Amino acid sequence: MGGFHCPLGAMAPGTEGCIHCGLCTAGTREAYAKAAEKLRAYIRENVPRPRRVEKIAVCGKGGVGKSTVTAAFARAFSSLGYRVLVLDTDESNPTLARALGLPPCESMLKRPDSRFEPAESPSWLREDLDISDIPADYLSAAGNLMLVTAGKLEDPFAGCACSIGALAQLLMLNLELQEGEVVIADTEAGVESFGRGVERGADTVIAVAEPSLDSLEVAEKVKYMAEGLGISRFRTILNKVPDEETAELLTEYLEGKDIRYLGWLGQEKEVVRHGLAGTPLDKTEDAYLKLENMLKLFLDENEMDYPL
Amino acid sequence: MGNVLTVKEMEALWGGPLPEVEEEYRILAEGFAAGRPELAPYVMKKIFSYPEAKAACALPGTAKEAAAACGITEEEAEKLLEDMAVRGKIMKLADGYDRITNIAFMKDYYFAQAKFDGEKDRAAARLMIAWDAFLPGRSVPDGTFRIVPKWKSVKALPGVMPCENMPQMLLDMLPDRIAFARCPCRAAWSIAETGEYHPEMFRGETGETGQQKDGLCIIVGPRAGYFASVYGAYVPTREELLEKIEHIENNGTYYTANNGRMLMVMCNCGDDCGCGMRILYEAEGPQGFSKSRFQAYLAKPEQCVGCGTCERTCMFHASVQVKEGKAFVDPDRCHGCGVCTVKCPRQALKMKLVRPADHIPKMPG
Ligand SMILES: Nc1ncnc2c1ncn2[C@@H]1O[C@H](COP(=O)(O)OP(=O)(O)O)[C@@H](O)[C@H]1O
Ligand code: SF4
Ligand code: SF4
Ligand code: SF4
Ligand SMILES: [Mg+2]
């Protein structure tokens, strides 16, 4: 519709919607520049954007590629300029630290002072927790990329899976993130345990799925359960897809179910090779670049910047 | 038509020998920043009666001030001004009235409301279009507007941005920042050519009937309230808006919007939609309009039966054509509106993302 004189859609200065920026009445170049600046500031503040992505839970069946995706997303976030905290809740293996290229970190559960009953928690783990409140001992970090491990079952007396879950969940819930900070939790949540762990504190759930009906159904159920938790931002990533035609079939399946996806990854030799070597993907490798691109698309969907 | 109209051309637009033009019309014409200066006083004369022109010359101001300037009573002035405001000739403000000084707006306001004045309006429409023709095609900077794809055609794709979700942006305007009106561009064009509004002469299943409620023009943002209260634009309920969106998602028009992240103005355009786009077409193609970030492609060649629906419905200079029995999309021409994708009876066409997020400016230029 045609009344274009006002960028904000006011009919005339002083009418409904006018912020008195002065653009439409500016007589000089300086006045115009000043008005434009005021207008820009207003628009910057008022561009409708979805709630910022802060806490992502990566879910899916065991072995689908959750740790691979988590690590690549975390590194991509970090190179785009975000401060990233990776929360490892996997009780059973050290893949994540390796895939991130970070030394393994002291588990929160292995320290003597943090032996606690499921109902207790360390004193620092209070509400409105800042990332920098996490004791450095528990963190493994390089630059703006940080890893905290919520527990390993190496020491059978250190705790049970339940307390690990409780601790990780508390951390996820209590963290109060600043703009430019994100948390990505690598979960063990299949359908059985979904909703009992870190995903409770998440604003985004990413389900990794393989090209099997089983895996797709898990994604579907997880979406349903995430919605039940009030998490409407749900995305799927398809992993280990043999070829493009299969990818097409899979994405059509997802479209039919109204499940949004970020992209797909093939059977990637590099992933296997790095997995065996215990090293992170090279940032120039195809698999990494594809995942990085998926992250960028996801940020675009949420009207979020790449600060770097 | 050349840059300066000949007397003969102006007579054709006016509909007879050019009359004498009183001083008031010249004053009003001067208020318009750009256009065809030789035509402006005649447009004014066609639109404003002489007493109206006199009162309009006293603006900006109140009815009291206009009454004093014209030597009429305040009640008379009030009635005159109110009537002009309702007809889209002047603007009504909180503390008085003001002139409209852009012909494109005046044309929109004038034809957004429902009443017509027969032959007089026909000539006015002809004149305004001719004047308008001089404006948007050549003076709208590149990338002022942007094609927004049919939501249906892109909604499943990764990377779709909030400013590409037209249904949601429209729903976000509820309850009082949205109104429906008859499309003034199409109305002006139709009236210029036939003297009446014939919605059936337009492509793209507009759904227009002449009723504001059925109109394809969706006014968004703060001005919706003005359109509703002054021009009788229709304020929809949520259900009515959803119905409208469903209609437009499936029809043959395409969305255009201001080229930014925040929706401030939108249109449901076509290559036949009246003024802006039509004239842009008759010139060298849509200037001022940035493409969407998407592009159509033949995703399922085996499903394409060469029926030509895509070619017929594409409003962008045949960006998609049937060649040897299969659809072929010219990626350079395709503006990414998604119409062909929605219209293909065999679901053979799809959209793909081809431009980065910063194709859509964060800030207006
Ligand atoms: N796209 C891929 N191509 C080939 N192998 C993969 C791919 N993604 C993951 N893998 C391999 O699959 C195994 C499980 O991956 P991982 O990320 O640890 O899954 P999860 O964390 O879900 O258990 C690892 O050996 C990993 O190297
Ligand atoms: S002053 Fe600014 S906000 Fe108000 S009408 Fe003019 S351009 Fe619009
Ligand atoms: S409308 Fe569809 S089936 Fe018909 S020619 Fe175009 S792509 Fe082929
Ligand atoms: S080919 Fe034509 S109808 Fe199809 S998306 Fe491109 S511009 Fe729109
Ligand atoms: Mg894992």
- Contacting residues of A for B169, CB less than 8 Å apart: 48
- The reply to whether B1 falls in a domain is no
**pLDDT computed for residue B139 by the predictor:** 54
**pLDDT computed for residue B364 by the predictor:** 67
Residue A84 phi, psi dihedral angles, 5° rounding:
-120, 130
**pLDDT computed for residue B105 by the predictor:** 75
Structural domain ending residue among the three candidates B132, B159, B185: B132
* Token pair in block for residue B124: 């006015």
Q: From the CA of A23, how many Å to the nearest CA of chain B?
A: 12
**Packing angle of the helix pair A269-277, A286-301 (nearest 10 deg):** 110
Which pLDDT band, with edges at 50, 70 and 90, does A118 fall under? very low
Q: Are A221 and A191 in contact (CB under 8 A)?
A: yes
* Token pair in block for residue B59: 């603006």
| Closest Cβ–Cβ partner in A15, A255, A302 for B93 | A15
Q: What's chain A's average pLDDT?
A: 86
Q: Are A235 and A53 in contact (CB under 8 A)?
A: no
Enumerate domains of chain A plus CATH numbers: 1-46 (no CATH), 52-301 (3.40.50.300)
Highest mean pLDDT among A148-157, A163-172, A288-297: A288-297
| Closest Cβ–Cβ partner in B185, B264, B357 for A9 | B264
Q: Determine if ligand 1 sits within 6 Å of the CB of residue A240.
A: yes
Q: Do A39 and B364 touch (CB under 8 A)?
A: yes
**pLDDT computed for residue B201 by the predictor:** 85
Average the pLDDT over A44-63 and give the result: 89
Which of B97, B144, B262 should one mutate to test binding to chain A, selecting the residue with the greatest count of A CBs within 10 A? Answer: B262
Helix extents (H) in B181-306: 184-194, 223-231, 238-250, 276-282
Q: Hey, what amino acid is at A202?
A: A
Structural domain ending residue among the three candidates B71, B104, B132: B132
Structural domain ending residue among the three candidates B91, B108, B132: B132
Checking if the pLDDT of A170 tops 60, the result is yes
More confident position, A191 or B42: B42
Q: Identify whether residues B66 and B186 lie together within a single domain.
A: no
Which pLDDT band, with edges at 50, 70 and 90, does A114 fall under? very low
Q: Identify whether residues B47 and B172 lie together within a single domain.
A: no
Which pLDDT band, with edges at 50, 70 and 90, does A119 fall under? very low
- Contacting residues of B for A44, CB less than 8 Å apart: 362-363
Q: Are A225 and A195 in contact (CB under 8 A)?
A: yes
Low-confidence ranges of chain B (pLDDT < 50): 1, 136-138
**Cα separations (Å) of B139 from B131, B190, B288?**
13, 24, 8
**Packing angle of the helix pair B184-194, B119-134 (nearest 10 deg):** 120
Q: Which domain holds residue B90?
A: 7-132
Q: From the CA of B43, how many Å to the nearest CA of chain A?
A: 18
- How many domains does chain B contain in total? 2
Q: Identify whether residues B120 and B170 lie together within a single domain.
A: no
Residues from A contacting B (CB-CB < 8 Å) are 1-5, 7-12, 14-18, 39-40, 43-44, 46-50, 251, 254-255, 260-263, 294, 296-298, 300-303
**pLDDT computed for residue A53 by the predictor:** 96
Q: Identify whether residues B173 and B73 lie together within a single domain.
A: no
- The reply to whether B140 falls in a domain is no
Q: From the CA of B101, how many Å to the nearest CA of chain A?
A: 10
- Contacting residues of A for B218, CB less than 8 Å apart: 1
Q: Are A65 and A208 in contact (CB under 8 A)?
A: yes
Average the pLDDT over A32-45 and give the result: 88
Residue-wise pLDDT for A71-103, tens only, equals 999 999 999 999 999 998 866 667 899 999 998
Q: Report the predicted TM-score, pTM, of the whole model to 2 decimal places.
A: 0.90
H-helix or E-strand spanning residue B180: strand B178-181
Residue of the nearest CA to atom 2 in ligand 2?
A: A21
Q: Identify whether residues B253 and B296 lie together within a single domain.
A: yes
**pLDDT computed for residue B326 by the predictor:** 96
Checking if the pLDDT of A105 tops 60, the result is yes
Q: Identify whether residues B117 and B165 lie together within a single domain.
A: no
**pLDDT computed for residue A137 by the predictor:** 81
Q: From the CA of A52, how many Å to the nearest CA of chain B?
A: 13
Q: Identify whether residues B230 and B289 lie together within a single domain.
A: yes
- The reply to whether B137 falls in a domain is no
* Token pair in block for residue A198: 């870190």
- The reply to whether B205 falls in a domain is yes
DSSP 8-state class, residue B62: -
Q: Identify whether residues B15 and B71 lie together within a single domain.
A: yes
Checking if the pLDDT of A152 tops 70, the result is no
Q: Determine if ligand 4 sits within 6 Å of the CB of residue B338.
A: yes
Q: Identify whether residues B181 and B291 lie together within a single domain.
A: yes
Q: Determine if ligand 4 sits within 6 Å of the CB of residue B204.
A: no
Q: Do A4 and B105 touch (CB under 8 A)?
A: yes
Q: Identify whether residues B159 and B124 lie together within a single domain.
A: no
- A12-16 long-range contacts (CB < 8 A, ≥24 apart) are A12/B91, A12/B93, A12/B98, A14/B93, A14/B94, A14/B95, A15/B93, A15/B94, A15/B222, A15/B226, A16/B222, A16/B223, A16/B225, A16/B226
Q: Identify whether residues B68 and B177 lie together within a single domain.
A: no
- The reply to whether B138 falls in a domain is no
With a threshold of 0.90, tell me whether the complex ipTM lies above it.
no
**Cα separations (Å) of A68 from A151, A208, A265?**
19, 10, 11
Q: Identify whether residues B194 and B299 lie together within a single domain.
A: yes
